[in-house]
Amino acid sequence: MHVSSEQVEQVRAFNRDYTRRIGVLSQGLLGSTWSLTQMRVMYEIAHRPGITAGELAADLGLDRGYLSRTLKGFEARRLLGRAASEEDARRQHLRLTAAGQRVFAPLERRARQEVRGLLSAVDPARRPALLHAMSTIRDCFAPVAGSGVITLRAHRPGDMGWVVERHGKLYFEEYGWNMEFEALVAGITAEFIRKFDPLRERCWIAERQGHRLGCIFLVAEDAATAKLRLLLVEPDARGLGLGRRLVSECVNFARTAGYERVVLWTQSNLTAARRLYELAGFRCIGREPHRSFGQALTAETWERGLGR
């Protein structure tokens, strides 16, 4: 369909106004010495610990050479650490060091304060319309789902039955767990539906061309604590970074919802899931042997703080 010159100018006018309002035209972002690109790279590493340089370049649309120089600059200042992947030594997972976290934390706080100030200048009655318009813009530019695109969506009728069935079947096939585990999952999903609070809880269903590929849940444990539950990735979707993406969505939503920490309960033999939690900044804070699901297991409690 033809795009008119008037439409082009409307978009350009919006871009000029918005970039001025959010301060990206300044020499340093947020009154710092960091550029917009450096801040965005730092943000992605802070919120997606374990991400690789290749994933960063693809997700941000950055030239790999330019990104490499940016990462080396972070390393020279001892803000960035790398760890070789257990699956492929050629791939390196990125993580901010303690020094990097100290640099990033005040910038993150300042960014939130600036956005809060920007929104406070908008009539409260018009804020929902503003936020809806922003969401619409993002949706319009999102890629159309195709054979290679995995999308995440909220739950809908029929999903809970699939969650129970796939957990029961996969954990039996891969770990020999009996139907006690399927019953546990059924109880969790039933409680989620009965007590669902859309402002503080969420279920994500990963989908490709209408085919479900995975899921994850975040539920309220108490006012300050959220609980990550029922992470699952179908075998034919493993190795695509979907598990890391689901955990990241969960943690980011928990932070936005105002929780102070996220906890989860897992088993010591679930090595792939434990690796994902570790990369996402969780740490094991307790272990307890038990017998469940027809197996002798060691339960583990993991926790991640959501520093403000």
Per-residue DSSP letters for 110-156? Answer: HHHHHHHHHHHTS-TTTHHHHHHHHHHHHHHHSPPP-TT--EEEE--
Q: What is the CATH number of domain 151-305?
A: 3.40.630.30
Nearest CA to 214 out of 179, 251, 182, 239 is that of 239
Instruction: State residue 157's pLDDT score.
Output: 92
Instruction: Annotate 61-97 with three-state secondary structure.
Output: CCCHHHHHHHHHHHHHCCCEEEEECCCCCCCEEEEEC
Instruction: State residue 27's pLDDT score.
Output: 57
User: How far is the C-alpha of 63 from the C-alpha of 188, rounded, in Å?
Assistant: 44
Determine contact, residues 284/292, Cβ cutoff 8 Å: no
Q: Which amino acid is at 195?
A: K
Q: Cα-flanking dihedrals φ and ψ of residue 4, to 5°?
A: -80, 160
pLDDT in tens, 185-195: 999 999 999 99
CB atoms within 10 A of CB 2: 4
pTM, two decimal places: 0.56
May I ask the CATH class of domain 5-141? Answer: mainly alpha
The low-confidence residues of the chain, meaning pLDDT below 50, are 145-146
Instruction: State residue 279's pLDDT score.
Output: 93
Instruction: State residue 146's pLDDT score.
Output: 47
Domain definitions of the chain by residue range: 5-141, 151-305
Instruction: State residue 119's pLDDT score.
Output: 87
Supply 31's token pair: 């009154």
Instruction: State residue 10's pLDDT score.
Output: 86
The sign one gets for the Cα dihedral 73, 75, 79, 81 is positive
